[in-house]
Amino acid sequence: TMRPIDLETLRRSGRISATALRHGKSMIKPGAKLEDIARACEQVIFDMGGKPAFPAQLSRNHIAAHYCSPPGDATVIQPDDIVKLDLGTQVDGYVTDNATTVDLRDGENSLLVTASRMALENAISVMGPGTSLTEVGRQIESTIKALGFNPVYNLTGHGVARYVIHCAPTVPNYPDPKAARLRANMTIACEPFCCDGR
């Protein structure tokens, strides 16, 4: 049997993730060290009573995801970088996962960032119990393509569960006919990835 979700704790985890993400985003400037930003984000999470669900990650330019600074990482942000910050929190095992992209090349209203944000909003707009994730993927792909970009086909969103940062269902960024349906009480991370290459 499914244990009921403690929505209050899940929301608290989400608020911490969102606050840490906002703080990290404000630090993404030319000359800043990736490791310093990651550490600062994790400190916000701890200070607010959470624990990082996974190490904070800052992925630059052609690296779409999952770059974790090794200790002593000398990498600094360059003036034209596009930087994705990805972080998550767990509170009493309740995991929340969020990310944001800062485009230092094309600025705050960058079309690339806008395409990803619109894809996320359009995906959320069709979600609910019983929704096919094929349809969610269709919303993501069609939005991204309409703005002249491509989704990243081999990276997906995913379910999150208590003490689990990746589980079923897979949330595709294209209309994968094999995708599952959303069910009541599922918690998912929807992650539209948008790129200007292959």
- Sign, CA dihedral 153-155-161-167, equals positive
- Sign, CA dihedral 173-177-178-179, equals positive
* The amino acid at 93: G
Q: Two tokens at 14?
A: 């989400």
pLDDT at 146: 98
* The amino acid at 108: E
pLDDT at 2: 60
How far apart, in whole angstroms, are the C-alpha atoms of residue 43 and residue 135? 38
pLDDT at 80: 97
How far apart, in whole angstroms, are the C-alpha atoms of residue 61 and residue 34? 13
Q: Is the pTM of this model over 0.75?
A: yes
Per-10-residue mean pLDDT for the chain, 198 residues long? 83 98 98 98 98 98 93 97 98 97 94 97 98 98 98 95 96 97 96 91
